[in-house]
Amino acid sequence: MNKIMVIHGPNLNSLGQRQPEIYGNQTLEQINDQIETEARRLDCRVEIHQANSEGAIVDLIQSFGRDVSGIVINPGGYSHTSVAILDALLASKIPAVEVHLSNLYRREEFRQTMITARGAIGVISGFGAQSYLLALQYLANPKV
């Protein structure tokens, strides 16, 4: 059975309250419930984490062992700034899919550069919570 790690980055613990016009009304708990439901449907296991600090995200990635078949990561604002998270993803050699709730290309110009995406096999952006589910579907049954 595949084990997939899900990492929610900074400020995602404020979903449902934080800028609902951009991020929607769902809470992180509701999104996690959807992820867990989809994982059961796909016959895979998920382990879900949320961290607001860059170092904590790096520590999480470094802690994943050989029993992890994939990472779904929403690095939040660190996507645009964190070489440390990029390096951790690259060093892990675990297939990762970066996700974002909003379409970054419809937002501020600085959000259109995703440093961490270089450590991912793909990026899914703009589909709200569905972005996580699409990444999970791919990692549970990769075609590439």
CATH number of the domain to which 97 belongs: 3.40.50.9100
Average confidence (pLDDT) over 86-107: 88
- The predicted-structure confidence for 40-82, as pLDDT tens digits, reads as follows 999 999 999 999 999 999 999 999 987 899 999 999 989 989 9
- Mean pLDDT computed over 80-108: 89
Within 66-134, strands assigned E span 70-74, 96-100, 122-125
Task: Please tell me the total count of domains within the chain.
Answer: 1
Confidence at 144, pLDDT banded by 50, 70, 90: low
Give the residue numbers spanning the domain of 20: 3-140
Q: What percent of the chain has pLDDT over 90?
A: 70
Rounded CA gap, 99 and 104, in Å? 10
User: pLDDT category, 117, cuts 50, 70, 90?
Assistant: very high
Q: Give the CA distances from residue 110 to residues 1, 25, 113, 115, in Å, rounded to whole numbers and listed in that order.
A: 39, 24, 6, 11
What are the tens digits of pLDDT across the range 9-46?
998 988 888 776 766 788 999 999 999 999 999 999 99
Question: Closest Cα to residue 76, out of 141, 27, 11?
Answer: 11
Catalytic residue check, 100: yes
Predicted pLDDT at 106: 61
Q: Which of 23, 78, 132, 138 is labelled catalytic?
A: 23
Separation CA 17–CA 97 (nearest Å): 26
Tell me the average pLDDT across 99-120.
Answer: 80
Catalytic residue among 8, 78, 100, 138: 100
Tell me whether residue 23 is one of the annotated catalytic residues: yes
User: Which pLDDT value is given to residue 18?
Assistant: 75
Around Cβ 81, how many Cβ atoms within 10 Å? 15
Average model confidence (pLDDT) across the chain:
90
Residues 6+ apart with CB under 8 A from 73: 6, 7, 9, 57, 85, 89, 96, 97, 98, 99, 116, 120
pLDDT value at residue 84 = 98
What is the amino acid identity at position 140?
A
